Amino acid sequence: MNVVGYSQTANIASRDMQLLDPGGTPSSLPISFALLNNSMNPMRPRLRGEHAAAAT
C-alpha cells in the first residue's frame, strides 16, 4: 500500500503514521509513505535554505 500526501495532507499522514501499529497491518504488503512539502519534516528549513538566512 502506498500513501501519498502533499502539503496539509502530508501533515495529516505524518500524524496518522505515528498511530499505526507496525505489527497490525491487515495485509502482508508493506505500507510506504511519500510525503511532499511536509511542514512537519524537521529537514524542511534546511532544504529551503532558511538555515543560511538565520545564521546571518
Q: In this structure, what C-alpha cell is assigned to residue 22?
A: 507496525
Q: Are 29 and 1 in contact (CB under 8 A)?
A: yes
Q: In which domain, by residue range, is 39 found? A: 2-55
> For residue 35, what are the β-bridge partners?
5
For the chain, the domain total comes to: 1
- pLDDT reported for residue 55: 47
Across the range 8-29, mean pLDDT stands at: 75
Across the range 18-28, mean pLDDT stands at: 71
Specify the pTM.
Answer: 0.48
> For residue 4, what are the β-bridge partners?
34
Single-letter amino acid code for the residue at 8 = Q
- pLDDT reported for residue 25: 64
Average model confidence (pLDDT) across the chain: 69
